[in-house]
Amino acid sequence: MAKDLGQGIEPAALARPESYFVRGMAKLSEIADFEEFMAQNQQELKAEAAKLTAHTAVAVNVIAPAP
């Protein structure tokens, strides 16, 4: 795909936005370490993701608390 982009050929999905979906999820936490955060919240995040369609990607953003 990178070579195609370099030659000006766009991925087919760009012309078909209905072929993909992204849904963001937000969760506030005092946990600064991403791996620890995911370990402690994995079940909740999986349950939320299960509500979405099979073609939906889930974006999770973690913002660490200030030291």
pLDDT of residue 52: 65
Q: Is residue 28 part of a domain?
A: yes
Contacts of residues 59-64 at CB distance under 8 Å and 24 or more positions apart, as own/partner, are 59/22, 59/23, 59/24, 59/25, 60/24, 60/25, 60/27, 61/24, 61/26, 62/29, 62/34, 62/37, 64/32
pLDDT digits (tens, 9 = 90+) for 18-45: 666 666 677 888 888 888 988 888 888 8
Answer whether residue 63 shows pLDDT above 80.
no
Q: Is residue 9 part of a domain?
A: no
Q: Is residue 11 part of a domain?
A: no
Q: Is residue 39 part of a domain?
A: yes
Based on the structure, what is the number of domains in the chain? 1
Q: Provide the residue range defining the domain that includes 33.
A: 18-67
Q: Is residue 3 part of a domain?
A: no
